[in-house]
Protein backbone atom coordinates (compact mmCIF):
# COMPACT_ATOMS: atom_id res chain seq x y z
CA UNK A 1 0.00 0.00 0.00
CA UNK A 2 2.98 2.28 0.58
CA UNK A 3 3.66 3.19 -3.08
CA UNK A 4 -0.07 3.72 -3.70
CA UNK A 5 -0.39 6.28 -0.94
CA UNK A 6 2.84 7.99 -2.04
CA UNK A 7 1.31 8.26 -5.50
CA UNK A 8 -1.94 9.54 -3.95
CA UNK A 9 -0.03 12.20 -2.00
CA UNK A 10 1.87 13.27 -5.10
CA UNK A 11 -1.32 13.59 -7.13
CA UNK A 12 -3.06 15.58 -4.38
CA UNK A 13 -0.11 17.95 -4.33
CA UNK A 14 -0.08 18.35 -8.11
CA UNK A 15 -3.85 18.93 -8.24
CA UNK A 16 -3.67 21.60 -5.54
CA UNK A 17 -0.65 23.32 -7.13
CA UNK A 18 -2.21 23.27 -10.58
CA UNK A 19 -5.39 24.80 -9.15
CA UNK A 20 -3.41 27.63 -7.59
CA UNK A 21 -1.30 28.26 -10.67
CA UNK A 22 -4.26 28.07 -13.04
CA UNK A 23 -6.56 30.38 -11.11
CA UNK A 24 -4.31 32.95 -9.44
CA UNK A 25 -3.64 34.75 -12.73
CA UNK A 26 -7.38 35.57 -12.94
CA UNK A 27 -7.50 36.98 -9.42
CA UNK A 28 -7.29 40.71 -10.15
CA UNK A 29 -10.01 40.70 -12.78
CA UNK A 30 -12.29 38.13 -11.18
CA UNK A 31 -15.73 39.56 -10.52
CA UNK A 32 -16.67 36.78 -8.11
CA UNK A 33 -13.64 37.48 -5.95
CA UNK A 34 -14.97 40.99 -5.31
CA UNK A 35 -18.03 39.53 -3.60
CA UNK A 36 -16.18 39.10 -0.33
CA UNK A 37 -16.06 36.28 2.26
CA UNK A 38 -19.55 35.05 1.39
CA UNK A 39 -18.04 33.77 -1.89
CA UNK A 40 -14.40 33.22 -0.86
CA UNK A 41 -15.20 30.89 2.02
CA UNK A 42 -17.83 28.68 0.35
CA UNK A 43 -15.18 26.00 -0.05
CA UNK A 44 -11.49 25.34 -0.62
CA UNK A 45 -11.78 25.84 -4.40
CA UNK A 46 -13.21 29.36 -4.00
CA UNK A 47 -10.69 30.25 -1.29
CA UNK A 48 -7.76 29.22 -3.50
CA UNK A 49 -9.27 31.05 -6.49
CA UNK A 50 -9.44 34.31 -4.54
CA UNK A 51 -6.21 33.83 -2.57
CA UNK A 52 -8.24 33.93 0.64
CA UNK A 53 -7.38 30.61 2.30
CA UNK A 54 -5.68 32.26 5.29
CA UNK A 55 -8.56 34.71 5.78
CA UNK A 56 -11.18 31.95 5.63
CA UNK A 57 -9.23 29.72 8.02
CA UNK A 58 -8.78 32.47 10.62
CA UNK A 59 -12.07 34.37 10.31
CA UNK A 60 -14.74 31.97 9.02
CA UNK A 61 -13.83 28.28 9.03
CA UNK A 62 -12.34 28.43 12.53
CA UNK A 63 -15.76 29.17 14.03
CA UNK A 64 -17.50 26.79 11.64
CA UNK A 65 -15.23 23.95 12.71
CA UNK A 66 -16.12 24.49 16.35
CA UNK A 67 -19.82 24.28 15.56
CA UNK A 68 -19.92 21.59 12.90
CA UNK A 69 -16.43 20.00 12.81
CA UNK A 70 -17.13 19.37 9.11
CA UNK A 71 -14.48 21.43 7.27
CA UNK A 72 -11.70 18.77 7.21
CA UNK A 73 -14.26 16.18 6.11
CA UNK A 74 -15.77 18.37 3.37
CA UNK A 75 -12.33 19.37 2.07
CA UNK A 76 -11.14 15.75 2.02
CA UNK A 77 -14.18 14.63 0.02
CA UNK A 78 -13.77 17.57 -2.37
CA UNK A 79 -10.09 16.78 -3.04
CA UNK A 80 -10.65 13.01 -3.33
CA UNK A 81 -13.55 13.73 -5.70
CA UNK A 82 -11.21 15.68 -7.99
CA UNK A 83 -8.64 12.87 -7.86
CA UNK A 84 -11.42 10.42 -8.76
CA UNK A 85 -12.20 12.45 -11.91
CA UNK A 86 -8.46 12.56 -12.63
CA UNK A 87 -8.22 8.75 -12.36
CA UNK A 88 -11.25 8.23 -14.61
CA UNK A 89 -9.98 10.57 -17.36
CA UNK A 90 -8.86 8.21 -20.14
CA UNK A 91 -7.60 11.09 -22.29
CA UNK A 92 -5.21 12.04 -19.49
CA UNK A 93 -3.96 8.45 -19.33
CA UNK A 94 -3.31 8.54 -23.07
CA UNK A 95 -1.36 11.80 -22.76
CA UNK A 96 0.85 10.34 -20.02
CA UNK A 97 1.45 7.18 -22.09
CA UNK A 98 2.35 9.33 -25.12
CA UNK A 99 4.81 11.29 -23.00
CA UNK A 100 6.38 8.06 -21.74
CA UNK A 101 6.56 6.74 -25.32
CA UNK A 102 8.57 9.83 -26.30
CA UNK A 103 10.91 9.19 -23.38
CA UNK A 104 11.27 5.53 -24.37
CA UNK A 105 12.08 6.58 -27.94
CA UNK A 106 15.30 8.11 -26.65
CA UNK A 107 16.55 4.66 -25.67
CA UNK A 108 18.39 2.31 -28.04
CA UNK A 109 16.03 0.62 -30.51
CA UNK A 110 16.34 -2.81 -28.87
CA UNK A 111 15.05 -1.34 -25.56
CA UNK A 112 12.62 1.26 -26.88
CA UNK A 113 9.78 -1.15 -27.80
CA UNK A 114 10.06 -3.05 -24.50
CA UNK A 115 10.11 0.24 -22.57
CA UNK A 116 6.91 1.43 -24.26
CA UNK A 117 5.16 -1.89 -23.59
CA UNK A 118 6.17 -2.07 -19.91
CA UNK A 119 5.48 1.60 -19.14
CA UNK A 120 2.12 1.53 -20.94
CA UNK A 121 0.94 -1.45 -18.86
CA UNK A 122 2.35 0.05 -15.65
CA UNK A 123 0.53 3.36 -16.16
CA UNK A 124 -2.77 1.58 -16.84
CA UNK A 125 -2.36 -0.51 -13.68
CA UNK A 126 -1.50 2.59 -11.65
CA UNK A 127 -4.65 4.37 -12.82
CA UNK A 128 -6.78 1.28 -12.17
CA UNK A 129 -5.30 0.97 -8.68
CA UNK A 130 -5.83 4.67 -7.99
CA UNK A 131 -9.42 4.45 -9.23
CA UNK A 132 -10.18 1.61 -6.79
CA UNK A 133 -8.71 3.60 -3.87
CA UNK A 134 -10.71 6.78 -4.53
CA UNK A 135 -13.94 5.25 -5.89
CA UNK A 136 -15.79 6.19 -2.65
CA UNK A 137 -14.51 9.58 -1.37
CA UNK A 138 -16.69 9.48 1.76
CA UNK A 139 -15.49 6.01 2.78
CA UNK A 140 -11.83 6.90 2.13
CA UNK A 141 -12.07 10.08 4.22
CA UNK A 142 -13.56 8.05 7.09
CA UNK A 143 -10.62 5.63 6.89
CA UNK A 144 -8.23 8.59 6.97
CA UNK A 145 -10.05 9.75 10.18
CA UNK A 146 -11.01 13.07 8.53
CA UNK A 147 -14.72 12.28 8.66
CA UNK A 148 -16.73 10.97 11.57
CA UNK A 149 -18.18 7.50 11.09
CA UNK A 150 -21.62 9.09 11.32
CA UNK A 151 -22.72 12.44 9.97
CA UNK A 152 -25.37 14.52 11.72
CA UNK A 153 -27.88 13.40 9.10
CA UNK A 154 -27.09 9.74 9.75
CA UNK A 155 -27.40 10.26 13.51
CA UNK A 156 -30.74 12.03 13.08
CA UNK A 157 -32.04 9.23 10.87
CA UNK A 158 -31.01 6.66 13.49
CA UNK A 159 -32.63 8.62 16.31
CA UNK A 160 -35.89 9.15 14.45
CA UNK A 161 -36.00 5.53 13.30
CA UNK A 162 -35.60 4.46 16.93
CA UNK A 163 -38.21 6.91 18.24
CA UNK A 164 -40.75 5.98 15.60
CA UNK A 165 -40.07 2.25 15.76
CA UNK A 166 -43.03 0.03 14.94
CA UNK A 167 -41.85 -2.44 17.59
CA UNK A 168 -44.88 -3.02 19.83
CA UNK A 169 -42.82 -3.74 22.94
CA UNK A 170 -40.95 -0.44 22.78
CA UNK A 171 -44.11 1.48 21.82
CA UNK A 172 -46.09 0.06 24.73
CA UNK A 173 -43.24 0.85 27.11
CA UNK A 174 -42.88 4.45 26.02
CA UNK A 175 -46.57 5.29 25.79
CA UNK A 176 -48.86 2.79 27.56
CA UNK A 177 -52.57 3.51 27.33
CA UNK A 178 -54.52 6.16 25.40
CA UNK A 179 -53.36 9.79 25.40
CA UNK A 180 -55.61 12.69 24.36
CA UNK A 181 -53.75 14.26 21.45
CA UNK A 182 -56.48 14.93 18.88
CA UNK A 183 -55.75 17.90 16.56
CA UNK A 184 -58.43 20.60 16.85
CA UNK A 185 -57.91 22.19 13.42
CA UNK A 186 -57.46 19.44 10.88
CA UNK A 187 -57.56 15.64 11.28
CA UNK A 188 -54.45 13.69 10.37
CA UNK A 189 -56.49 11.11 8.48
CA UNK A 190 -53.70 10.46 5.98
CA UNK A 191 -51.00 9.73 8.56
CA UNK A 192 -50.53 6.00 9.03
CA UNK A 193 -48.79 6.37 12.40
CA UNK A 194 -49.90 6.35 16.02
CA UNK A 195 -50.86 9.55 17.82
CA UNK A 196 -47.82 9.37 20.10
CA UNK A 197 -45.60 9.00 17.04
CA UNK A 198 -47.24 12.08 15.49
CA UNK A 199 -46.29 14.01 18.62
CA UNK A 200 -42.69 12.75 18.49
CA UNK A 201 -42.48 13.71 14.81
CA UNK A 202 -43.93 17.17 15.51
CA UNK A 203 -41.52 17.78 18.41
CA UNK A 204 -38.53 16.71 16.34
CA UNK A 205 -39.56 18.82 13.34
CA UNK A 206 -40.12 21.93 15.47
CA UNK A 207 -36.85 21.62 17.39
CA UNK A 208 -34.79 21.24 14.22
CA UNK A 209 -36.83 23.92 12.46
CA UNK A 210 -36.02 26.44 15.19
CA UNK A 211 -32.29 25.83 14.58
CA UNK A 212 -32.62 26.36 10.82
CA UNK A 213 -34.73 29.53 10.75
CA UNK A 214 -34.41 33.12 11.88
CA UNK A 215 -37.09 35.60 12.99
CA UNK A 216 -37.56 36.99 9.46
CA UNK A 217 -37.89 33.67 7.62
CA UNK A 218 -40.45 33.65 4.80
CA UNK A 219 -43.22 31.10 4.26
CA UNK A 220 -41.21 29.60 1.39
CA UNK A 221 -38.10 29.26 3.58
CA UNK A 222 -40.14 27.51 6.28
CA UNK A 223 -41.65 25.09 3.76
CA UNK A 224 -38.21 24.36 2.29
CA UNK A 225 -36.76 23.75 5.75
CA UNK A 226 -39.65 21.46 6.69
CA UNK A 227 -39.26 19.39 3.52
CA UNK A 228 -35.52 19.12 4.13
CA UNK A 229 -36.20 17.73 7.59
CA UNK A 230 -38.32 14.98 6.05
CA UNK A 231 -35.22 13.75 4.19
CA UNK A 232 -33.71 12.86 7.57
CA UNK A 233 -36.50 10.36 8.17
CA UNK A 234 -36.19 6.66 7.25
CA UNK A 235 -37.62 5.95 3.80
CA UNK A 236 -40.58 4.05 5.25
CA UNK A 237 -42.02 7.17 6.91
CA UNK A 238 -40.80 9.98 4.64
CA UNK A 239 -44.17 10.12 2.89
CA UNK A 240 -45.95 10.46 6.26
CA UNK A 241 -43.55 13.27 7.19
CA UNK A 242 -44.24 15.08 3.91
CA UNK A 243 -47.97 14.65 4.46
CA UNK A 244 -47.53 16.12 7.93
CA UNK A 245 -45.67 19.10 6.42
CA UNK A 246 -48.33 19.66 3.74
CA UNK A 247 -51.17 19.43 6.27
CA UNK A 248 -49.69 21.58 9.01
CA UNK A 249 -47.34 24.14 7.41
CA UNK A 250 -50.05 26.88 7.25
CA UNK A 251 -50.91 26.33 10.92
CA UNK A 252 -47.24 26.20 11.97
CA UNK A 253 -46.58 29.51 10.20
CA UNK A 254 -49.68 31.05 11.78
CA UNK A 255 -48.68 29.94 15.28
CA UNK A 256 -45.05 31.04 14.88
CA UNK A 257 -46.25 34.46 13.68
CA UNK A 258 -47.97 34.88 17.06
CA UNK A 259 -44.55 34.55 18.72
CA UNK A 260 -45.18 31.12 20.14
CA UNK A 261 -41.99 29.27 21.01
CA UNK A 262 -41.37 26.38 18.59
CA UNK A 263 -41.62 23.81 21.39
CA UNK A 264 -45.18 25.01 22.13
CA UNK A 265 -46.44 24.60 18.55
CA UNK A 266 -47.21 20.89 18.94
CA UNK A 267 -49.24 21.58 22.07
CA UNK A 268 -51.10 24.43 20.36
CA UNK A 269 -51.95 22.06 17.49
CA UNK A 270 -53.21 19.57 20.11
CA UNK A 271 -50.78 16.97 18.76
CA UNK A 272 -49.01 16.64 22.11
CA UNK A 273 -50.05 16.76 25.74
CA UNK A 274 -48.56 19.37 28.09
CA UNK A 275 -45.54 17.18 28.76
CA UNK A 276 -44.89 16.10 25.19
CA UNK A 277 -44.40 12.56 23.93
CA UNK A 278 -40.64 12.54 24.38
CA UNK A 279 -40.81 13.87 27.93
CA UNK A 280 -43.42 11.25 28.82
CA UNK A 281 -41.19 8.58 27.34
CA UNK A 282 -38.19 9.74 29.38
CA UNK A 283 -40.32 9.99 32.52
CA UNK A 284 -41.60 6.45 32.03
CA UNK A 285 -38.06 5.16 31.62
CA UNK A 286 -36.99 6.88 34.85
CA UNK A 287 -39.85 5.48 36.93
CA UNK A 288 -39.18 2.16 38.73
CA UNK A 289 -42.76 0.97 38.10
CA UNK A 290 -41.80 -0.57 34.76
CA UNK A 291 -42.17 -4.31 34.51
CA UNK A 292 -38.71 -5.79 34.95
CA UNK A 293 -38.59 -7.73 31.70
CA UNK A 294 -39.69 -4.83 29.47
CA UNK A 295 -37.29 -2.33 31.00
CA UNK A 296 -34.43 -4.82 30.91
CA UNK A 297 -35.05 -5.81 27.27
CA UNK A 298 -35.24 -2.21 26.05
CA UNK A 299 -32.17 -1.23 28.09
CA UNK A 300 -30.12 -4.05 26.57
CA UNK A 301 -31.30 -3.13 23.06
CA UNK A 302 -30.21 0.49 23.55
CA UNK A 303 -26.85 -0.56 25.05
CA UNK A 304 -26.19 -2.85 22.07
CA UNK A 305 -26.94 0.07 19.71
CA UNK A 306 -24.47 2.29 21.59
CA UNK A 307 -21.78 -0.41 21.58
CA UNK A 308 -22.33 -0.92 17.85
CA UNK A 309 -21.91 2.83 17.29
CA UNK A 310 -18.66 2.84 19.28
CA UNK A 311 -17.27 0.07 17.06
CA UNK A 312 -17.85 2.34 14.05
CA UNK A 313 -15.26 4.85 15.33
CA UNK A 314 -17.81 7.50 16.28
CA UNK A 315 -15.89 10.44 17.75
CA UNK A 316 -16.34 11.59 21.36
CA UNK A 317 -17.79 14.83 19.94
CA UNK A 318 -20.30 12.80 17.89
CA UNK A 319 -21.40 10.86 20.96
CA UNK A 320 -21.72 14.10 22.95
CA UNK A 321 -23.94 15.50 20.18
CA UNK A 322 -26.15 12.41 20.23
CA UNK A 323 -26.54 12.58 24.02
CA UNK A 324 -27.11 16.35 23.92
CA UNK A 325 -30.07 15.78 21.60
CA UNK A 326 -31.62 13.72 24.42
CA UNK A 327 -30.96 16.54 26.91
CA UNK A 328 -32.74 18.97 24.58
CA UNK A 329 -35.98 17.08 25.07
CA UNK A 330 -36.03 17.57 28.87
CA UNK A 331 -38.45 20.45 29.61
CA UNK A 332 -37.24 21.35 33.13
CA UNK A 333 -34.41 23.90 32.75
CA UNK A 334 -32.49 22.78 35.84
CA UNK A 335 -32.56 19.09 34.91
CA UNK A 336 -31.60 19.97 31.34
CA UNK A 337 -28.52 21.84 32.67
CA UNK A 338 -27.56 18.89 34.87
CA UNK A 339 -27.91 16.57 31.89
CA UNK A 340 -25.61 18.78 29.74
CA UNK A 341 -23.00 19.11 32.50
CA UNK A 342 -22.98 15.35 33.07
CA UNK A 343 -22.40 14.72 29.36
CA UNK A 344 -19.51 17.20 29.20
CA UNK A 345 -17.76 15.66 32.22
CA UNK A 346 -18.50 11.96 32.00
CA UNK A 347 -18.64 10.98 28.31
CA UNK A 348 -15.08 9.47 28.31
CA UNK A 349 -15.90 7.40 31.41
CA UNK A 350 -19.23 6.33 29.91
CA UNK A 351 -17.53 5.24 26.69
CA UNK A 352 -14.99 3.21 28.67
CA UNK A 353 -17.83 1.70 30.73
CA UNK A 354 -19.81 0.72 27.63
CA UNK A 355 -16.77 -0.81 25.91
CA UNK A 356 -15.69 -3.00 28.83
CA UNK A 357 -19.05 -4.35 30.03
CA UNK A 358 -21.67 -6.56 28.40
CA UNK A 359 -25.25 -5.18 27.95
CA UNK A 360 -26.81 -7.23 30.76
CA UNK A 361 -24.16 -6.12 33.31
CA UNK A 362 -24.56 -2.48 32.29
CA UNK A 363 -28.35 -2.64 32.65
CA UNK A 364 -28.04 -4.29 36.06
CA UNK A 365 -25.77 -1.44 37.19
CA UNK A 366 -28.39 1.01 35.91
CA UNK A 367 -31.08 -0.86 37.91
CA UNK A 368 -32.96 -1.64 34.68
CA UNK A 369 -32.42 -5.39 35.01
CA UNK A 370 -32.94 -7.50 38.09
CA UNK A 371 -29.89 -9.37 39.36
CA UNK A 372 -32.06 -12.49 39.25
CA UNK A 373 -32.48 -12.26 35.46
Q: What is the CATH number of the domain that holds 132?
A: 1.10.225
Judgement on whether residues 303 and 265 belong to the same structural domain of the protein? no
Same structural domain for residues 305 and 267? no
Instruction: Mark 112-130 as b/e (b = at least 16 C-beta within 10 Å).
Output: eeebbeebbeebeebbeeb
Least confident of 171-185, 226-240, 263-277: 171-185
CB contact at 8 A, 134 and 63: no
Sequence-ordered list of residues with C-beta below 8 angstroms from that of 305, at least 6 positions apart, any chain: 162
Read off the pLDDT of residues 296-352 as tens digits, 9 standing for 90 and up: 766 676 667 666 666 655 566 666 666 665 566 555 566 667 667 766 666 666 667
Within 10 angstroms of residue 274's Cβ, the number of other Cβ atoms is 8
Residue 3 has pLDDT above 80, yes or no: no
Neighbour count for residue 209 (Cβ, 10 Å): 19
267, 315: one domain: no
Assigned domain for 131 exists: yes
Which among 272, 303, 325 is the end of a domain? 272
**Count of domains observed in the chain:** 3
Tell whether 233 is covered by a domain.
yes
Residue 207 covered by a domain: yes
**3-class secondary-structure state, position 306:** helix
Range of the structural domain that residue 361 is part of: 292-366
Q: Residue 337 domain-assigned?
A: yes
User: What is the pTM for the complete model shown?
Assistant: 0.27
In a domain? residue 159: no
Clarify whether residues 256 and 313 are in a common domain. no
pLDDT in the model for residue 227:
72
Q: How many CB atoms lie within 10 A of CB 98?
A: 11
8 Å CB contact between 296 and 356: no
SS3 330: coil
Residue 363, exposed/middle/buried by CB under 10 A (0-12, 13-18, 19+)? buried
Interatomic CA distance for residues 304 and 146, integer angstroms: 26
Helix/strand/coil for 315:
coil
Verify that 202 and 250 share a domain, yes or no: yes
**Percentage of residues in the chain having pLDDT higher than 90:** 0
Q: Is residue 87 part of a domain?
A: yes
Rounded Cα gap, residues 189 and 310, in angstroms:
40
Question: Is residue 164 included in any domain, yes or no?
Answer: no
Q: What does pLDDT average to over the chain?
A: 63
User: Which of these three, 272, 304, 325, is where a domain ends?
Assistant: 272
pLDDT above 60 (res 280): no
**Cβ–Cβ < 8 Å for 11, 130:** yes
User: pLDDT band for position 98 (50/70/90)?
Assistant: confident
Q: Residue 226 is part of a domain; what is its CATH number?
A: 1.10.225.10
19 occurs within a structural domain: no
Backbone φ and ψ for 261, nearest 5 degrees, come out as -70, 145
Amino acid sequence: MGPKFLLLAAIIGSVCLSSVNAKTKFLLGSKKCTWGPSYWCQGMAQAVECDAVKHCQEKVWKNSIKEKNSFPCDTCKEVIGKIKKFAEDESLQDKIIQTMDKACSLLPSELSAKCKEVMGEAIKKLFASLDSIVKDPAALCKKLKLCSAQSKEEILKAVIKHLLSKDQQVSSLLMPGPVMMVPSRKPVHKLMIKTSETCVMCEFVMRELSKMLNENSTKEEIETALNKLCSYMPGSIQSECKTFVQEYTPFIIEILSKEFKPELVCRELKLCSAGGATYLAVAKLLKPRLTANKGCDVCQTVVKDVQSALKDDVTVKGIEDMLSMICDYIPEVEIKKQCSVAIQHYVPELIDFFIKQDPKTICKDLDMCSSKL
